[in-house]
Chain A
Amino acid sequence: MITKKLGVSRLADWVGTLIQHHQVYGPQARDGRFVYDSLASPKQLRLDHDVTVLPPRKYLMPPREVLLKYSREGGFQPVIDSSPLVLFGVHPYDVAAIIQMDRYFTQDNPDAHYLERRKNVTIVACDVQNASENVFAACMGSATVREGYDLLLTLVGQTYVVESRTPAGDALLALAGELEDADPVSLGRREQVWEDAQKLLRRQNLGTVPSELPHLLDRTYDHPLWRQKADQCFSCGSCVMVCPSCFCFDVQDDVGWDLNSGTRRRQWDGCLLSEFALVAGGHNFRKQREQRYRHRFYRKGKYLSERCGFVACVGCGRCVGACTSGIANPVEVYNALLEVS
């Protein structure tokens, strides 16, 4: 592991060099919010962002992704449309979600499409400088991360402490030129940033620890809260579309103009959408909004925990802001369940 110091004034030069050598995506301001997009200039990069509209998941599992090409006579050819890229400025909770995604797509049946894309991604994480209004990452254990990234940037005063954990990180860091080793003082200040992050990223307070959530859900399946909340649900799926820990997808075929060849793609899908469990013939296994609304919490809070060993929520708070009805907030739901159970 290499840990260096990079003066704030040198960041732009380094990012500029990275952009010349790599395809770099990072958080940038757009219409009063922040989004990940490709960086054409270091000026666009906003490491002070609070949260992005969509998580960087879109680069690992694109909203639409071609899986294969087919022709009616010629069979099927796999397609993995991936090229190397750098994600610059990823917040710790989003790194935590990528770690979950890695486990999800590796476990049981490894997903070559995901893994091939993942191999091509270098992650430059960045500790949070400004908290978003709904964040509760500290409650979910993802206010800071110590794995899952290639480089980690932490702002301490007028200096970034830059830690590299991988050869890919070393290679990016080498493009910054000569850098001083991080001294004990700046490392100490970094420790302080991490400690402060536990308060900073707790704008909402979950009344329990993540490992308790499966047990909480064990005893609250028939709680009236599910119906009360779901009565206001539009089944729009916004909460799952912005979630860094939602991985469900639909698969559809597209036919080419020759009517002979085409592609098959997968695209994001969400269990809140009314047709998610609908089968041909018309039977819908989760017809009621209440069933779908509840399923989201059970899938994330219990089922994936039992299957993959993680609660599929990192506390980014995106769903809270995305929900048009104001009912998606996991902290509100879990705390209400805690009150009565």
Chain B
Amino acid sequence: MTVQATIETGADLYLPQPATLLSKTVLTATEMLLQMRLDSGQELHHMPGQFVEVTVPGVGEAPISLSSSPDETEYFELVVRRCGRVSSGIHACRTGEKLGIRGPFGTHFPVDGVMKGRDVVFVAGGLGLAPLRSAIHYVLNHRGDYGAVTILYGTKSPFERMFLDELDDWSRRPDVKFLETVDRGDVGWRGEVGVITKLIPQAKIDPAKSVVVCCGPPIMYKFVVVSLYALEIPDQNIWVSLERRMKCGVGKCGHCQINGLYACMDGPVFNYADIVGMPEAI
């Protein structure tokens, strides 16, 4: 005898909420910006740096960072790189199609905490701009709450640059210092060439007043942290967002462990002081 029970034991951790894909915008050859809304009409109530688990029915579920500011209440945005089964499934979805959302999950950048009143330095490597964009929008929406704002952005090549209008806007704003570089230029590229650490000395970061927020590929952190050390920025003023394989998003499936920490619950945003010396972190 097998019965299909209803859930009396509390909310079902694994049950997605239906959501609708409002629009798709091509950002690069592999990155797509999705605008979505929960079908319940409720806001997501996320903070910059948090992520959601996105379901493509029949394909699967994957963790994706939120890329829009919490100030956007009509929709939320995700940047999805096409590189696996689920992300390819997301790219194949049409506007109006139904997806599933769980979350928001995880820790967030301290936009309402230690970043306030301080100089803020964003260090974005490649797709790392996606989660940082949420924090950047938030900080720029509440510009008066923060000191100097610096955005450092590095990509492999000019083709991988995302949000070109926004990059242009940031580079023109008098209240933002925007510096970018590409690992390899091309004939049309007039900007800086080299890895992102090249920008750090140029940024003229005041170690006493700054909070540095980083997101990028695993290899980037090794070098960025060394550069920040050279400037004597204290560990507790450095924040990083770490990616790991995730299934459940709620601390049960065991996949996202970074030594004793869970990227899904203790992260993805970590204070560097909490992970320094942890062999699996960086």
Binding site for B on A (CB under 8 A): 23, 67-68, 70-73, 75-76, 78-83, 104-105, 108-113, 115-116, 119, 221, 247-253, 255, 259, 262, 264, 266, 269, 271, 276-281, 283, 285-286, 291, 295, 298-299, 302-303, 306-307
Contact = CB atoms under 8 A, between A and B. Distances in A.
Contact of B59 (A82, A253, A291): A253
Interface in B39-98: 39, 55, 57-62, 81, 83-87, 98
A221 B280 CA distance: 11
B98 A73 contact: yes
Which of the four size classes fits the interface of chain B? 35 or more
Q: State the majority secondary structure of interface residues on A.
A: mixed
Task: Identify which of A108, A247, A285 gathers the most chain B CB atoms within 10 Å of its CB.
Answer: A285
Nearest to A250: B247
Nearest to A302: B260
B29 interface: no
Contact of B254 (A105, A248, A252, A291): A248
Given A82-B5, A266-B247, A283-B217, 13 more contacts: A68-B12, A78-B15, A82-B3, A109-B13, A110-B9, A113-B12, A221-B279, A247-B254, A266-B253, A280-B62, A280-B83, A280-B87, A303-B257
Q: State the majority secondary structure of interface residues on B.
A: loop
B255 A276 contact: yes
Contacts of B265: 108
Contacts of B84: 279-281
Interface string B98-127: 101000000000000000000000000000
B57 A70 contact: yes
Given A113-B14, A248-B254, A83 B83 contact: no
Contacts of A113: 12, 14
Nearest to B81: A281
Given A81-B4, A83-B3, A251-B253, A67 B245 contact: no
23 contacts: A72-B57, A72-B58, A75-B98, A76-B57, A78-B12, A82-B3, A83-B1, A111-B13, A119-B9, A250-B247, A251-B60, A251-B248, A252-B60, A266-B14, A269-B253, A269-B255, A271-B254, A279-B244, A280-B86, A291-B280, A298-B259, A302-B260, A306-B260
A295 B260 CA distance: 10
Interface of B: 1-16, 18, 39, 55, 57-62, 81, 83-87, 98, 100, 217-218, 243-245, 247-248, 250-255, 257, 259-260, 265, 279-280
Nearest to B279: A221
